[in-house]
Chain A
Amino acid sequence: MKQNVAVQGTPKRSLKTRAWRQRYLFLMVLPGFLIVLVFSYFPMYGILIAFENYSVNKGILGSEWVGFKHFMDFFTNPMAFRVVKNTLILGVYNLLWSFPIPIVLAVFFNEIKNQKFKKLVQTVSYFPYFLSTVIVAGMLLSFCSREGLFNQIRALAGLEPILFLQDPGSFRTLFIGSGIWQGAGYGTILYLAAISNIDPSLYDVASIDGASRFQKIRHITLPALRPTITIMLIMAVGGILGSDFQKIMLLYTPQTYPVADVIGTYTYREGIAGARFEYTTAIGLFNSLISFVLLAIANLISRKASDTSLW
């Protein structure tokens, strides 16, 4: 009897009725769903052309399949070695320099005692992140010219001017350096958020025990940052091959191609300008696969070693 009442109280409606009652919710989801379906999923389906001789008239499923031909074309092309090597080198340099600097900066920001000064430094250091790549490239173009800022500084040291943008030896430094200039300040935000969650009484107790500033940083601040650092590191490893090729496109010159040409720039030149769609789609797929494998490996190692992982 009691059971019956309960069942009557929450009658199990049919799926159809429930769906109809939620019609407005479905209607709300619809535009976003269609946008994601068309602009995120259709291109994934379009990757299939990496395995075929694509013809617009025959469509993606109707075109002739050629297996791994385009991948082989890439691997046997001498350019492949150059662009993969450059992408890897820039990615590794980025990991070595651009990744740790925000962590160090966040720790030092946190040690500023004057709150107003702290706020000022943060506000100033975040600013370059909001400048466009074209603006940063424009500034670099100006600083790197014969009469630019960098050569003014060299002149102070009594050195001959260099045309930095034509100098293969300077390219990587310019690329990584400008990336740090733009992103290091902004990169501290996540770490500062983690630091702000530390119980302040830990520092007080440490002070009473006579701990120095460095000891407090080493034994309180850095351990509290470890999970955030781990997650960011996993993502950074996954992004090693995802070099900021848009900036490179604005900065490289024929003289610096040997060090500056990366997978992204090569794909753009061959794909969009050269209309080799299948070949460059294959390169893109190869790049994404390697990136995903790197991400998965980093994630696995981290899960085994530290219990922190993305999934």
Chain B
Amino acid sequence: MVHKRTIQRSRGDRIFDVVNTLLMLGIIVVVVFPVLNVIAISFSNAEHVARADVTIFPKGFNVQAYSYILRDPQVWRGYLNSIGYCVGFTVCNLLFTSLFAYPLTHNDFLGKKFCTIFLTITMFFGGGMIPTYLLMRSLHLIDNPLVLIIPGCVGAYNVFVFRTFFNNIPSELSESAKMDGANDFTILFRIVLPLSKALLATFGLFAIVGMWNNWFSALLYLDDTNKYPVQMILRQYLYVLDTVNLQQRAGMGGGYINPTLLQQISPKGVRMAMVVVTMFPIMMIYPFFQKYFVKGVMIGAVKG
């Protein structure tokens, strides 16, 4: 009797495992297939793209779409702009968040309660898109690169996560430093932050990815295309590019591409190449990042 039950259970178990494994393989296919399709299209020639027979392997392999993109000065400018925005934003984000969070770990800090309430309110209420836009306008921040960097760089949630993390650092070190006459800045930068590398790496990567993917602030606050981040350039490629202006731009002396090679590329191939170029940095840092972000989400979750 007991014997029979064990066998039955393990058979049910096995069926479950097979179904579950198939389900998981299905998920992998659903996630990976579209990405591979985009990459394959970007390397295929126009004829195959039009005939719609490209799946996950390029057909009529060529790199003309990339050669077109990489000769477009706008793409380079957008790329460099995005790198600049990411660096600026990440530095400001980590610096100002740490500075804000550290005093809140002192129970006798006079501003502690006020600052906590001050921050908590912003988690529930906000001005919304239009009042924020009007504020940026009245501060003359339209078309100022700082508009992408400063306004979003201190968030209540981040400050609270940083505070919790700092609280868990043993206080003996900072107390003995205090005895030796170190001031709070020295303690934060020489003792607390060096012990918070995991936290800084996690939130630094979140900041980089967040800013790299940001396009809506640029749409709202930047009119000058020379200041556009790469996502906005991608948006232009997606919505403005068609066969006619592809040929016009190619013919425009700027020498984007040799007109005879133009037959090999299609607007769609160029668009997908631009998608790949834009997502390339994310794909590159993802393997390092995925080690950290689970931890990052957990740190936040514990605090709630």
Scan B103-138; emit 1 where CB is below 8 A from any A CB, else 0: 100101111000100110010111111111111001
Nearest A residue to B19, CB-CB: A108
Q: How far is the CB of B267 from chain A (nearest CB, A)?
A: 10
Task: Flag if A288 contacts B133 (CB, 8 Å).
Answer: no
Task: Flag if B99 contacts A32 (CB, 8 Å).
Answer: yes
Most B CB contacts (10 A, CB to CB) among A40, A112, A264, A288 go to A40
Indicate if A97 sits at the interface (CB-CB under 8 A): no
A142 to B37, CA, bound (A): 10
Task: Flag if A280 contacts B52 (CB, 8 Å).
Answer: no
Contacts of B91 in A (CB 8 A): none
Task: Flag if A44 contacts B125 (CB, 8 Å).
Answer: yes
A260 to B59, CA, bound (A): 35
Q: How far is the CB of A35 from chain B (nearest CB, A)?
A: 5
A134 to B236, CA, bound (A): 10
A142 to B50, CA, bound (A): 12
Which range contains the number of A residues in contact with the other chain? 35 or more
Contacts of B96 in A (CB 8 A): 31-32, 35
Task: Flag if A40 contacts B127 (CB, 8 Å).
Answer: yes
Chain B interfacial residues counted at CB < 8 A: 93
Instruction: Give 30 pairs: A residue, B residue, CB < 8 Å, sorted on A.
Output: A18-B108, A18-B110, A25-B102, A25-B109, A25-B111, A28-B99, A28-B185, A32-B99, A33-B118, A36-B122, A40-B126, A108-B24, A112-B24, A113-B17, A123-B290, A125-B27, A134-B215, A134-B278, A135-B275, A138-B238, A138-B275, A142-B41, A181-B31, A190-B297, A213-B13, A264-B129, A272-B133, A272-B220, A281-B131, A292-B124
Chain B residues within CB distance 8 Å of chain A = 5, 9, 12-13, 16-17, 20-21, 23-24, 27-28, 30-32, 34-35, 37-38, 41, 49-52, 55, 96-97, 99-100, 102-103, 106, 108-111, 115, 118-119, 122, 124-135, 138-139, 150-154, 156, 159, 183-185, 188, 209, 212-216, 220, 231, 234-235, 238, 268, 271-272, 274-275, 278-279, 282, 286, 289-290, 293-294, 297-298, 301, 304
